[in-house]
Amino acid sequence: MSRVRISALAGAVCALAAALGTASAGATTPPRDQLRSLVCQKALDPPMRAVSIEAVMRPVAGTERMEMRFELMRQSAPGGPFTVVRGRLLGSWISPQNPTLGQRPDDVWILTHPVVDLAAPATYRFRVVFRWIGAQGQRLATAVQTSADCYQPELRADLLVRSLTVAPLATTSADDTYTAVIANRGQTGAGPFEFVLVGAGSAPQSETVAWVGPRSSVREQFAAPACTAGGSVTATVDPDHTIDEYDFANNALSITCPAPASPPS
- CB atoms inside a 10 Å sphere around CB 16: 15
The rounded distance, in Å, linking the Cα atoms of 52 and 66 is 21
Specify the CATH number of the domain 7-19+28-152: 2.60.40
Structural contact between residues 150 and 123, judged by C-beta atoms closer than 8 angstroms: yes
For the chain, the structural domain boundaries read: 7-19+28-152, 159-256
Can you give the pLDDT at residue 174?
79
Structural contact between residues 107 and 101, judged by C-beta atoms closer than 8 angstroms: yes
Can you give the pLDDT at residue 229?
84
Q: pLDDT tens, position by position, for the chain (265 residues)?
A: 333 333 333 333 333 333 333 333 346 899 999 999 999 999 999 999 999 999 999 999 999 999 999 999 999 999 999 999 999 889 999 999 999 999 999 999 999 999 999 999 999 999 999 999 999 999 999 999 999 999 999 999 999 999 999 998 876 677 889 999 999 999 999 999 999 999 866 688 899 999 999 999 999 998 888 888 888 999 999 999 999 999 999 999 999 988 776 555 5
Q: Which residues contact 232 (CB under 8 A, 6 or more apart)?
A: 199, 254, 255, 256, 257
> Amino acid identity, residue 219?
R
Can you give the pLDDT at residue 26?
46
The alpha carbon torsion through 212, 217, 218, 220 (nearest 10 deg) reads 110
DSSP 46: G
Nearest to 41 by CA among 9, 13, 69, 68: 9
Backbone phi and psi for residue 152, each to the nearest 5 degrees, phi listed first: -110, 105
Can you give the pLDDT at residue 21?
37
Assign domain 159-256 to its CATH architecture: Sandwich (2.60)
